[in-house]
A and B are shown apart, each in its own frame.
Chain A
Amino acid sequence: MDTYEPPIFELSSPGKYGANVPDLDVPRAELPDDLLRQDDLAGFPELSEPEVIRHYTRISQRNFSIDTGMYPLGSCTMKYNPKLNEEAARMPGFAQAHPLQAEELSQGALRLMYELQADLATISGFDAVSLQPAAGAQGEFTGILAFHAYHLDRGDTDRVEVLVPDAAHGTNPATAAMVGLKVIEVASDERGNVDLADLKRKLSPRTVGLMLTNPNTLGLFEEHIVEVARLVHEAGGLVYGDGANFNAILGIVQPGAMGFDFMHYNLHKTFTTPHGGGGPGSGAVGCTAELAPFLPGPLVNRTADGDYAFITPEKSIGRMKAFHGNFGMLVRAWTYIRSMGAAGLRKVSETAVLNANYIRTQLDDIYPPAVDRICMHETVLKGQIAGATGIRTLDIAKRLIDYGFHPPTVYFPLIVPEALMIEPTETESKQMIDAFIQAMRSIAREAVEQPELLLAAPTKAPVRRLDEVRAARQPVLRYDADKFAKLRDSE
């Protein structure tokens, strides 16, 4: 079945509309003629409600999603998004509450935020939490701004270098640069840990801190974490935790206890809020008591008489965004934590780690592991299949689509050649994981015997591989009837 659906602009016909707006019931006021729009919204779509619904339903069917298949996407924690969470966030007292309405009219929302702050602090072993950052990258930005402010507050003005491991997510160095700081890369050792000798060489009185993901992006637990944190602290620096991989250690170990000073949580990874095709996320942050005065405001506090109120910490770095964070995501995360409890959260991480190690041991005879160690919630393998020539990781990834799976994260971390980063999460069943393993093994055979199947893949998706060069060289970033006609004619 050809599922192609034209752009909405090509479905429009004059005179239609798809929403039932209230009628005018007051006298018309004068309009300022010189400020009026002149084009009467020419070129805007005109469709009925059923037409709009069919259009967006049809194109939705051209998407892969968690609810339609397994997403072994390393570093992204694509786990099931509970349906109860969706109902909770849509309750009118949450969904239709105004962010600036009086605190006495918002006690339910504030209590929920207060409890989520407390739960996240407990789970991670921190003293304070701010729910304001909108995404993990904004959480990182918050943390490095707070580190910078902390050092300046102590009169420590020479600290301008942020240490980042070579395996780090791209957001880490980009974040340091946004704060106007210099990025110093730290090497990994052969077991996938931070290279302690290199770390010692690079720590100095100029060090703001170290940004570290633990488990790291190789899916490995940092074996010398306590030592790493001690070294950074001895140099007067602070340790930032990228919480992207927090799903591995809920109830297993607390970042605060390991020596982290500040960390962001990706509520859209670990705490099941949906990814939404790219967002919205939530990058709440937790930190030690020492850094708490620098958190972005407002936070929710509980007053002596038991009411909940917003407060801004005394040395706050300021607001990260308007209002109080991606509140709808906070409702979902609160609901998830209440569904799971402490034992349930530990079971989440135990199962996520079990599933990843099972995949690792069922595939490492044909896909060499980046580092041969017990992994945490994800495993990094190499798409280097013995006897397969001219086949790259990209081809393996695309062939997985034909088997009904979303490809793993590929070519990351950058220090692993032909990397395939696989994270099954705890919500997949053994049957599904076995099917994935079988698919990976079949693809390895095909890579040797029928490489053309991989090179041509995918053939069962709504479209085949794309001409990315054309997209970048002749960018068409908005609908244009002539350009679409030309694209169609150039077949």
Chain B
Amino acid sequence: MSHYISITDADRAEMLDAIGVDSITALFTDVPEHLRFPQLDIPAPLSEPELMRELHRLHNTNASAQTHSLFLGAGAYNHFVPAAVDQILRRSEYYTAYTPYQPEISQGTLQAIFEYQSLICRLTGMEVANASHYDGGTAIAEAAIMALNVVRNRRKIVVARGVNPQYRAVLRTYLQGLDVEIVGDERPGASINDALAQVDADTCALIVQSPDFLGRLHDLRGLAEQVHAAGALLIVHFDPIALALFQPPAEADADIAVAEGQPLGLGLNFGGPYLGIFTTRQKYVHKIAGRLVGVTKDLDGKIAYTLTLRAREQDIRRERATSNICTNQGLMALASTVYLSLLGRQGLRKVAEVGYHRAHYAAAQIGQIPGYVVHADQPFFREFVVQCPRPAAAINAALRERGIIGGYDLAADEPQLGHAMLLCVTEMNSKSEIDELTAALRALV
């Protein structure tokens, strides 16, 4: 017996008797006999204290934002997560609940998702947000698939080089069976305008990111007009924290706006679970994949929430569905909802501002070190490119000795930049931490 199993030997005997069989093995006679009851060679079970010791050993061999100063971003960001967020996530009523298909007993989850959709709409200015995708990369891929279904009979997706290379890889994975051409990002250093130049009469959508993978903010106003003139849709990947200060995607007249929601109170978690934010226009609501929560009334006239417009989803539409998504990132959407509610109007702005000014302070300090060239000619938010006197890998190895995790090595993704790294600064990097980084870099010239 295990402490997670609630049936005793006596129960079992009684139940077998009621079923009318004489042993547990009699329940498995449909399983081919020569395959039945294999020996599984997995480690012997541990008691809870033994397992805790083992887990401590494992997690202590990892560096983390707790053991190191972290200046690494590239799609996963070290932002402040208030303790209150996790206290809500630890409530069994949320995390041990199922998908809210039975609305009468799922009003907690449903109201939280409704508030999530509402907060994301306010943040982005967009009209509809769904209840989440897996992450920013899959949200981009699902946006491209939706665009293929909105703009029929076109087989080309143009994606700007500034879109996170991992997201571009996911996009290609998702579309590989659909006879779609993906272009626009082939040449290192290519700009949004270079991508725009490839939008033509066979193009279904242009995908851009701002702040882009190298941290640069782009003025996207006017872009949609040109994309729409070609009959295509504009898909924008935004950063939810940057929106506290900068133009929301609705102002760029985006048709679909998506984001990696991890900065909104999710923590780094070695890459997941994260949150795919997905928004679009009201007129495309029947084309959106994933779950949607709406509000209505119950028999007594009380306000109540429910999953709605379900006919879009895979369990009903089956092979005619445009996405197979079922399980999403619901609890992560809750985390971001609690985060946005706690931070509120003032706090969210403060997080964005403190991060922005600290990132610019770091860029200015590092830019003064002979041998380092900081790319700050274009507006940036929390990340910027630094060209180093030595390969980024060597710089990072030396920083590690000082308890610093340096920037993302751009050698593989943007080789034209030479010995370059992408540094990330948020509200979690204090001035003294930044000064230590600067001093360390100076010593490495």
If A178-B324, A338-B43 touch, does A472 touch B92 (CB 8 Å cutoff)?
A: no
Q: Point out the residues of chain A lying under 8 angstroms from B12, CB to CB.
A: 351, 354
Chain B 252-280 per-residue mask, 1 if CB under 8 angstroms from chain A, else 0: 00000000100000011111111000000
**Does A311 have its Cβ within 8 Å of any Cβ on chain B?**
no
Q: Point out the residues of chain A lying under 8 angstroms from B122, CB to CB.
A: 41, 43-44, 478
Q: Point out the residues of chain B lying under 8 angstroms from A344, CB to CB.
A: 2, 45
9 contacts between A and B (CB under 8 A): A56-B341, A100-B408, A137-B326, A177-B319, A183-B318, A321-B138, A323-B271, A342-B41, A357-B21
Chain A 383-426 per-residue mask, 1 if CB under 8 angstroms from chain B, else 0: 00000000000000110010000110000100000000000001
Q: Point out the residues of chain B lying under 8 angstroms from A458, CB to CB.
A: 104-105
A137 adjacent to B30 (CB under 8 Å):
no
**Does A281 have its Cβ within 8 Å of any Cβ on chain B?**
yes
Q: Sorted from nearest, which 5 A-B pairs have the closest CB atoms? A: A323-B271, A93-B59, A99-B271, A276-B331, A341-B45
B64 adjacent to A134 (CB under 8 Å):
no
Q: Give the contacts of B57-109 with A (CB-CB under 8 A).
A: 57-68, 70, 72, 74-76, 78, 80, 82, 84, 86-88, 90-100, 102-109
Within 8 Å by CB of B176, from A135, A257, A318, A478, lies A318
Which of B166-174, B184-192, B227-235, B366-374 is the contact stretch?
Answer: B166-174
- Report the separation of the CA atoms of residues A325 and B93 in the bound assembly, to the nearest whole angstrom: 25
Chain A 177-205 per-residue mask, 1 if CB under 8 angstroms from chain B, else 0: 11111010000000000000000000000
**Does B323 have its Cβ within 8 Å of any Cβ on chain A?**
yes
Within 8 Å by CB of A475, from B248, B309, B342, B427, lies B309
B104 adjacent to A320 (CB under 8 Å):
no
Q: Point out the residues of chain B lying under 8 angstroms from A140, CB to CB.
A: 324
Within 8 Å by CB of B331, from A82, A279, A335, lies A279
Closest CB in chain B relative to A238 CB, distance in Å: 15
Extra contacts, 10 of them, besides A81-B95, A135-B328, A327-B273 (Cβ < 8 A), are A56-B88, A134-B329, A170-B321, A177-B324, A275-B327, A277-B94, A278-B291, A325-B271, A406-B102, A471-B294
A275 adjacent to B27 (CB under 8 Å):
no
**Does B443 have its Cβ within 8 Å of any Cβ on chain A?**
no
Q: Point out the residues of chain A lying under 8 angstroms from B350, CB to CB.
A: 21
Q: Point out the residues of chain B lying under 8 angstroms from A102, CB to CB.
A: 63, 396, 400, 405
**Does B247 have its Cβ within 8 Å of any Cβ on chain A?**
yes
- Report the separation of the CA atoms of residues A76 and B291 in the bound assembly, to the nearest whole angstrom: 17
**Does A302 have its Cβ within 8 Å of any Cβ on chain B?**
no
Closest CB in chain A relative to B359 CB, distance in Å: 8
B269 adjacent to A29 (CB under 8 Å):
no
- Report the separation of the CA atoms of residues A249 and B111 in the bound assembly, to the nearest whole angstrom: 37
Closest A residue by C-beta to B58: A108
- Report the separation of the CA atoms of residues A180 and B334 in the bound assembly, to the nearest whole angstrom: 34
Which of A57-65, A284-292, A446-454 is the contact stretch?
Answer: A57-65
B176 adjacent to A19 (CB under 8 Å):
no
- Report the separation of the CA atoms of residues A324 and B273 in the bound assembly, to the nearest whole angstrom: 10
**Does A361 have its Cβ within 8 Å of any Cβ on chain B?**
yes
**Does A105 have its Cβ within 8 Å of any Cβ on chain B?**
yes
Q: Point out the residues of chain A lying under 8 angstroms from B268, CB to CB.
A: 95-99
**Does A174 have its Cβ within 8 Å of any Cβ on chain B?**
yes
**Does B383 have its Cβ within 8 Å of any Cβ on chain A?**
no
Most buried by A among B66, B94, B100: B94
Q: Point out the residues of chain A lying under 8 angstroms from B300, CB to CB.
A: 463-464
**Does B345 have its Cβ within 8 Å of any Cβ on chain A?**
yes
- Report the separation of the CA atoms of residues A140 and B314 in the bound assembly, to the nearest whole angstrom: 13
Q: Give the contacts of A451-491 with B (CB-CB under 8 A).
A: 458, 461-468, 470-472, 475-479, 483-484, 487-488, 490-491
If A64-B97, A178-B323, A280-B330 touch, does A477 touch B293 (CB 8 Å cutoff)?
A: yes
Q: Give the contacts of A315-348 with B (CB-CB under 8 A).
A: 317-329, 335, 337-348
**Does A353 have its Cβ within 8 Å of any Cβ on chain B?**
yes
Closest CB in chain A relative to B268 CB, distance in Å: 5
A221 adjacent to B324 (CB under 8 Å):
no
Within 8 Å by CB of A275, from B1, B99, B113, B353, lies B99
- Report the separation of the CA atoms of residues A471 and B14 in the bound assembly, to the nearest whole angstrom: 48
B59 adjacent to A92 (CB under 8 Å):
yes
- Report the separation of the CA atoms of residues A295 and B260 in the bound assembly, to the nearest whole angstrom: 24
B88 adjacent to A321 (CB under 8 Å):
no
Within 8 Å by CB of A329, from B245, B273, B304, lies B273
Chain A 364-387 per-residue mask, 1 if CB under 8 angstroms from chain B, else 0: 000000000110000000000000
Chain A 299-317 per-residue mask, 1 if CB under 8 angstroms from chain B, else 0: 0000000000000000001
Within 8 Å by CB of A430, from B15, B75, B100, B329, lies B15
A326 adjacent to B166 (CB under 8 Å):
no
Q: Point out the residues of chain B lying under 8 angstroms from A12, CB to CB.
A: 344
Q: Give the contacts of A94-138 with B (CB-CB under 8 A).
A: 94-102, 105-109, 111-112, 115, 119, 122-123, 125, 134-138
If A340-B2, A428-B6, A430-B15 touch, does A257 touch B344 (CB 8 Å cutoff)?
A: no
**Does A158 have its Cβ within 8 Å of any Cβ on chain B?**
no
- Report the separation of the CA atoms of residues A325 and B322 in the bound assembly, to the nearest whole angstrom: 23
Most buried by A among B52, B317, B341, B405: B341
**Does B36 have its Cβ within 8 Å of any Cβ on chain A?**
yes
Closest CB in chain B relative to A126 CB, distance in Å: 13
Closest CB in chain A relative to B348 CB, distance in Å: 6
B176 adjacent to A463 (CB under 8 Å):
no
If A86-B90, A276-B330, A465-B298 touch, does A31 touch B356 (CB 8 Å cutoff)?
A: yes
Closest CB in chain A relative to B113 CB, distance in Å: 8
Closest CB in chain B relative to A157 CB, distance in Å: 13
If A37-B245, A344-B2 touch, does A335 touch B55 (CB 8 Å cutoff)?
A: yes
Q: Point out the residues of chain A lying under 8 angstroms from B15, CB to CB.
A: 354-355, 357-358, 430
Q: Point out the residues of chain B lying under 8 angstroms from A29, CB to CB.
A: 356-357, 360-361, 364
B108 adjacent to A60 (CB under 8 Å):
yes
Within 8 Å by CB of A22, from B164, B299, B427, lies B427
Q: Point out the residues of chain B lying under 8 angstroms from A468, CB to CB.
A: 296, 306, 308
B24 adjacent to A277 (CB under 8 Å):
no
Closest A residue by C-beta to B109: A277
If A63-B107, A99-B76, A322-B166 touch, does A472 touch B319 (CB 8 Å cutoff)?
A: no
**Does A36 have its Cβ within 8 Å of any Cβ on chain B?**
yes
Within 8 Å by CB of A268, from B62, B68, B327, B348, lies B327
Q: Point out the residues of chain A lying under 8 angstroms from B323, CB to CB.
A: 174, 178
Within 8 Å by CB of B94, from A71, A137, A179, A276, lies A276
